[in-house]
Amino acid sequence: MPSTSGYVSLPDQEGTVVPAANAGSVTLRDNGSYSYDYKQGLFTNKYTLLVSLLASIGGLSFGYDQGVIANVLVMPTFFRMKAWETGIMTAVLELGALVGCILAGLFADRMGSRSRSIAAACVAFLVGSVIQAAARSVTHLVIGRGIGGIGVGALSMLSPLYLAEISPPSLRGSLMALEQLAIVSGVVLGFWLGFFTRTIPSSLSWRIPLAVQIIPGVILGLGCIILPPSPRLLVLEGSLDEAQTILARLRGRSTDDPLVKLELLEMQVEATLIRRTTTAESKPNTLIQELKTWAGLFGRKYRRRTWVGVLMMAFQQWSGINALLYYGPTLVRSIGLDGARVTLLVSGGIGIAQLVAVIPAIMFIDKLGRRPLLRSGAIVMGFSHFLVSILISQYGADWHDHSLAAGLSVGLIYVFTLAYGASFGPVAWVLPSEVFPLSMRSRGAALATSSNWANNFFVGLITPTTLERSPAGTFLLFAVFCFVAYLWATYAVPETAGIGLEEMASVFERGEGELEREEAETRRQIEEDVGLWRLVNEESRRGRSAET
Ligand SMILES: O[C@H]1[C@H](O)[C@@H](O)[C@H](O)[C@@H](O)[C@H]1O
């Protein structure tokens, strides 16, 4: 078992690395733990990359909905709406999404296969999209966005969950960060399509961009037919042979590849552990049992993971990213710049900056780890906000005489966005779904994702007011959140890069309590029983003799 004491990141831990039979390696450490690496790059295994890209389309729908609305709302052909109606239009999607991800958490395990849940979410998304594109009144739109939001929210939880379950440990961060790539691609597509159609002199100007989202929804919905089932769920159901075939395919290896066998054995250990220890936990039948299971997320055993997930999403939102996206133009006007070009530069540009920044994150999230990204990101984000706040308080009264300071402020907003786009943006879609064990994963991920939507909603609610009262104060508020996020990432978040999903307990539980010791003991026993250690030892012997 790869063990990390406290918050030491795994990649630092030296061990004896022996080559595996086909390719890749097994690392054995002095403390008796092991890890393995398929040594595959993101592009080596085209099948897994393709499947991941397909699954991440769920994120595209999310970003698109957020990006498209900014332009649609100001189109002259669009419904004349009162301020509160505009507010409802934005909020209803977030509230729908909040409901959607909780529903997905309730039903994901019950529906048996992940692709079935994803397909159901696509149906809600498509129904909502059709209602929006065909809307004859504001009420239709609100209903459409509410129903679509349920699909968007469910997908925002299901796609990362599925990605976590099909990825090899050493590439999991990169593959899961594709979710953020999809989200921000959606933001950019939604924004710019609306920008180009806005001059069409009929309602097509807004119906077209609202209808276009049907395309990715249909692709993902139909794509569910070819999405391979999660090997982890198959193991839990007892379909070992199918799980082995699917896993081998996902890893681009044969079914008798030792690393494939090892990974499968880890899944078996987890499944056996679930069966032995928590029958009611994995399949609660009554409402009381269901509630107990959710409450279990805050019990001694899982609460550290739960807080990591929930706070990860909360800090992502309180970094202020959506305040920049939704209220970008107002914000920029408040720092003395005006005009249509500026609006574009900010709203359209922020999406593009996020898109650019996610690329290095995808490349390095597994090599550098999640924590370094979060910590460095938080510092840069915090200082950018802080400096903007100072500039506003110094020169805010008279920007026209201080155009340099105004330009600098816009530059700093971009610095913030780039730092966010390479850190809290993508990592928030990675950590929450990878930290939980299979028995709690869907509910834990649902809770964390609901924290994303709830906080998104609250930031949206308070920002117009705080901006009106004090733009400098608004930036300062977000700066404070970024600095607190730095402390949190430093002291409360363990490194999860490269660690198998079944091994997360070793990072989160310190093995102190009686219960933890007992469970570690049981786990070890099951590992022996299924032959996991025999395989590890055989591999290391074979690897060593091959080397000499
Ligand atoms: O990761 C995403 C992304 O950064 C989006 O641009 C933002 O609107 C979302 O709220 C966030 O969760």
Report pLDDT for 6.
36
Alpha-carbon torsion angle 62, 64, 65, 69, nearest 10: 150
CA of 59 to the centre of ligand 1 (A): 10
Residue 11 above 70 pLDDT? no
Rounded CA-CA distance 348/338 in Å is: 15
Give me 248's structure tokens: 């081998």
- Give distance in angstroms: CA of 237 to centre of ligand 1: 35
| Runs of H (alpha helix) within 369-422 | 370-395, 403-422
* More confident of the two residues 285 and 311: 311
325 close to ligand 1 (CB < 6 Angstrom): yes
| Res 545: pLDDT | 78
Q: Is the CB of 358 under 6 A from ligand 1?
A: no
Domains in the chain, ordered, with CATH? 45-228 (1.20.1250.20), 286-508 (1.20.1250.20)
- Residue 359: pLDDT band with limits 50, 70, 90: very high
Atom of ligand 1 nearest to the CA of 66: 8
3-state SS class at 34: strand
Report pLDDT digits (tens) over 436-469.
998 899 999 999 999 999 999 999 889 888 988 9
Q: How confident is the model at residue 337 (pLDDT cuts 50, 70, 90)?
A: low
Ligand 1 binding pocket includes 425 (Cβ within 6 Å) = yes
Q: How far apart are CA 116 and CA 367, in angstroms?
A: 33
H or E segment to which residue 149 belongs: helix 138-166
98 Cβ closer than 6 Å to some ligand 1 atom: no
CB distance 430 to 358 below 8 Å: no
Q: Report the nearest atom of ligand 1 relative to the CA of 351.
A: 6
Closest CA to 23 of 249, 253, 247: 253
pLDDT digits (tens, 9 = 90+) for 35-74: 888 888 889 889 999 999 999 999 999 899 888 887 788 7
User: Ligand 1 pocket test: which of 322, 416, 452, 463 has the largest number of ligand atoms within 8 Å of its C-beta?
Assistant: 322
Whole-prediction pTM: 0.91
Residue 354 in contact with ligand 1 by CB distance below 6 A: yes
CB distance 187 to ligand 1 below 6 Å:
yes
Q: List the end-to-end C-alpha distance of the chain, in Å, as a whole number.
A: 26
Ligand 1 atom nearest residue 325's Cα: 8
Q: How far is the CA of 322 from the centre of ligand 1 (A)?
A: 7
Percent of the chain with pLDDT over 70: 92
Sheet holding 16-19, edge to edge: 16-19, 25-28, 34-37
**For residue 279, what pLDDT band results from cuts at 50, 70 and 90?**
low
Above 0.95 for ipTM, yes or no? Answer: yes
**Which ligand 1 atom is nearest residue 317's CA?**
10
For the ranges 111-120, 252-261, 279-288, 307-316, the maximum mean pLDDT occurs at 307-316
What spacing in Å lies between the alpha carbon of 12 and ligand 1's midpoint? 31
